[in-house]
Amino acid sequence: MTKIDELLVRELGKVGASSGDIAESLGEKIGIPTSGAITSMGGSFGAKIAAKFLPTEQHQVELTIRSDPRFILTKAHAFMSSNGRVTESEEIEKSPFPAISGVVGSGFLNMNPTILSCEISAITDDSCTVVVSGAAKEGLIKQRSAAKAVDRLAAALS
């Protein structure tokens, strides 16, 4: 399993755990006793197991932007921070290019964790080439999470 797949499994586990927390709240409201720790662990465990069997869909676009590469990476950092989180350096494979990666929500209600990466692959005097890529786990009903997240980041950078 790649680092991207491992990260997506962990992130889907977090979504599953929060679903367990919601189930606990609903159970309390309708009078069904539940244990928060058990519902949270069950949701997390189930989501992690299911995620290991789901395919990872990927999407990538290449942009030429008339801007300073540091400004582009700063904008990408701001986008990822406001829509999710920036990944730690050990969570994802290193790029030979200047790059930043993060996990953002995408798909239906932005609930599907999607890994985004923004790399500066070439620099000229007045512009740079930016490769924006995304990866997300997809089930039977395709949400196009990776493509939607990549398009949102590309629009924010342009």
Query: What are the per-10-residue average pLDDT scores of the chain (158 residues)?
Result: 82 67 53 52 57 84 95 96 91 85 91 94 92 92 93 95
User: Which strands make up the sheet holding 128-137, listed edge to edge?
Assistant: 56-65, 128-137, 112-123, 99-106, 84-86
The DSSP H or E segment spanning 152 is helix 145-157
In a shared domain, residues 46 and 70: no
In a shared domain, residues 71 and 26: no
Q: How far apart are CA 42 and CA 52, in angstroms?
A: 16
Last residue of one domain, picked from the residues 31, 53, 75: 53
Number of residues that make up the chain? 158
Q: State which residues form the domain around 10.
A: 3-53
Domain total of the chain: 2
Tell me, what CATH number does 82's domain have?
A: 3.30.530.20
Instruction: Return the pLDDT at 85.
Output: 94
In a shared domain, residues 42 and 64: no
In a shared domain, residues 64 and 141: yes
Instruction: Return the pLDDT at 40.
Output: 47
In a shared domain, residues 115 and 39: no
Share in percent of the chain as helix, strand, coil (round to 5):
50, 25, 25
In a shared domain, residues 66 and 144: yes
The DSSP H or E segment spanning 103 is strand 99-106
In a shared domain, residues 48 and 77: no
